[in-house]
A and B are shown apart, each in its own frame.
Chain A
Amino acid sequence: MADNNLQKTFEKFKEELSGLAQYVDDARKGIDEIESTFQLSSQKFPEASGQLSTVSGDLENAANNIMSLLENLVDEHDKSKALIEELSALAGTLPDESASKAKEVTAKLEGVNTGMKTIIMDMFANSSFHDLSGQKLKKVISTLSGVEAKILDMACNFGIENKGAGSEETKSSYADGKGDMFNQSEVDKILNDLKLG
Chain B
Amino acid sequence: MLDQNMKILVVDDFSTMRRIIRNILKELGYTNVDEADDGNTGLEKLKADDFDFVVTDWNMPNMPGIDLLKAIRADAKLKGLPVLMVTAEAAKENIVEAVQAGVSNYIVKPFTAANLKERIDLILEKHK
Verify A132–B110 contact, CB threshold 8 A.
yes
Question: Which residues of A (94-138) have their CB < 8 Å from a CB of B?
Answer: 117-118, 121-122, 124-132, 134-135
Q: How far is the CB of B112 from chain A (nearest CB, A)?
A: 5
Known: A60-B15, A64-B15, A121-B27. Contact between A132 and B20, CB under 8 A? no
Question: Is B20 within 8 A of A67, CB to CB?
Answer: yes
Does B99 have its Cβ within 8 Å of any Cβ on chain A?
Answer: no
Which residues of B1-50 are within 8 A (CB) of A?
A: 12, 14-17, 19-20, 23-24, 27
Distance in angstroms between the alpha carbons of A132 and B111 in the assembled complex? 12
Do A130 and B23 contact each other (CB < 8 Å), given the known contacts A121-B113, A122-B112, A122-B113? no
| Total count of chain B residues near the partner, CB < 8 A | 18
Q: How distant is the Cα of A121 from the Cα of B29 in the complex, in angstroms?
A: 13
A14 to nearest B CB, angstroms?
A: 65
When chains A and B are docked, how far (Å) is the Cα of A154 from the Cα of B111? 45
B109 touches A (CB below 8 Å): yes
B12, closest chain A residue (CB): A131
* Chain B residues with CB below 8 A from A64, complex form: 15-16, 19
Establish whether residues A128 and B15, one from each chain, have CB atoms under 8 Å apart when the complex forms: no
Q: Do most interface residues of chain A lie in helix, strand or loop, or is the interface mixed?
A: helix
Cβ–Cβ < 8 Å partners of B14 in chain A: 60, 130-131, 134
**B19→A131 contact, CB < 8 A:** no
Interface residues on A, range: 20 to 34
Query: Is A67 a contact of B23 with CB atoms below 8 Å?
Result: yes
Interface check B105, CB cutoff 8 A: no
Per-position 1/0 for A127-171, Cβ under 8 A of B: 111111011000000000000000000000000000000000000
21 CB contacts below 8 A, A to B, read A60-B14, A60-B16, A63-B16, A64-B15, A64-B19, A67-B20, A121-B27, A124-B20, A124-B24, A125-B20, A125-B111, A125-B113, A126-B110, A128-B20, A128-B109, A128-B110, A128-B111, A130-B14, A130-B17, A131-B14, A131-B57
- A residues bordering B, Cβ < 8 Å? 60, 63-64, 67, 70-71, 74, 117-118, 121-122, 124-132, 134-135
